[in-house]
Chains A and B, each alone.
Chain A
C-alpha cells in the first residue's frame, strides 16, 4: 500500500509557503489602508486569489495530484466563476 507515500513535502518547502502567505497577508493589509477607491476590491481579491493558489497547490497538495483531480478542481472553480459572472450580468443589466 505504500505506493501512495509518493510525495512528501519537505519542512523547508512548507515553511517557505507559510512565509509567502504571511507576507501576502501583510501586503494585503498595507495595500488596502491606501485609498485606491474601487480598485481596492480588485487588489484585495487578486491578493486573496494568489494566497489561495499557494494553499491549494502546496498545502492541499494539488500540484502533486493526478490529472483527473486537477481537472475537477479547475471545473469546480470554473462553475463558481460562471455562477458569479452570470449573477453580475443580471445585476448590471437589470
Chain B
C-alpha cells in the first residue's frame, strides 16, 4: 500500500466523532433534566435517599476516571511522538482504570441490592414516592454510564490491537484520538453525576 495514495480526511474523521458526541451529550442531558425536575419536586425525599449513597466509593471512582482520562491523553501524546511502546502501555492503563471503576460500581450496586434497594424491589415500593424516583434515576443514569464505560473499554481494547499492528501510527493516529474523545465524554458525564447523586443531597 505504500506507493498508492490513500486519502485520509483527518478533519472529517474528527468532526464526525464530535457530532456523535453531541448526541451523547443530549442523551445524558435529557436525563439530567429529568433529575433536576424531580429534585425540585421532591427535595426532601431526594435528600433522604441520597444519604444511602457512599461518598467514599463515589469519590474513589471520580479519581479513577480522572486518572484514566489522563492516561488516554498521555497515550495520544506518546504516539504523536512516535513512542509506540508507551502509547500501548498507557492505553492498557486506561483500560485497567475503567475495569477498576466497574469493580467499584459492582460492589456499590451489590451493597444497595442487599439493602433491598433495586428496581421493582418491595422495599422501594414502600418508600415515599420521591425516594423511589431517586433510586430509579440512580440506576438508569449510573447504569447507562456504566454501559458507556464497558463500550469505552472495548473500543480501547481495539486501539491496543491497532497500535500493535501499526494501524495507528505516528502519522495516522486519529482513531486513537477519537477513542480518547469518547473516553473523555464518559469522564465528563461522571463529573456531573458524582456531585448530583453523591454530594448535594
Interface centre among B70, B74, B76, B194 (most CB of A within 10 A): B70
Number of contacting residues on B, CB 8 A?
51
Q: Is the interface of B mostly helix, strand, loop or mixed?
A: helix
Q: Return the contact of A9 from the options B19, B41, B73 (Cβ within 8 A).
A: B73
Residue contact A44 to B77, C-beta cutoff 8 Å: no
In the complex, whether B179 has a CB less than 8 A from a CB of chain A is no
Give chain A nearest CB distance to B7 CB in angstroms.
10
Find out whether the CB atom of B63 lies under 8 angstroms from the CB atom of A22: yes
Smallest CB gap from A69: residue in B: B18
CB contacts (< 8 Å) of A73 on chain B: these are 18
Most chain B beta-carbon contacts within 10 A, residue among A18, A22, A72: A18
Give Cα A65 to B15, complex, Å: 10
Quick one: which of A4, A21, A61, A79 contacts B66, CB cutoff 8 A?
A21
Q: Taking the nearest CB of chain B, how far is it from the CB of A63, in angstroms?
A: 13
Interface of A is mostly: helix
Is the CB–CB distance between B171 and A44 below 8 Å? no
Q: Assess the A32–B37 pair: CB atoms within 8 A.
A: no
Q: Which of B26-34, B101-109, B112-120, B150-158 contacts A (4 or more CB under 8 A)?
A: B26-34
Chain B, 36-69, CB within 8 A of any chain A CB: 36-37, 39-41, 55, 59, 62-63, 66-67, 69
Query: Is there contact, CB below 8 Å, between A8 and B32?
Result: no
5 residue pairs, one from A and one from B, having the closest CB atoms = A44-B195, A32-B199, A18-B70, A76-B22, A8-B80
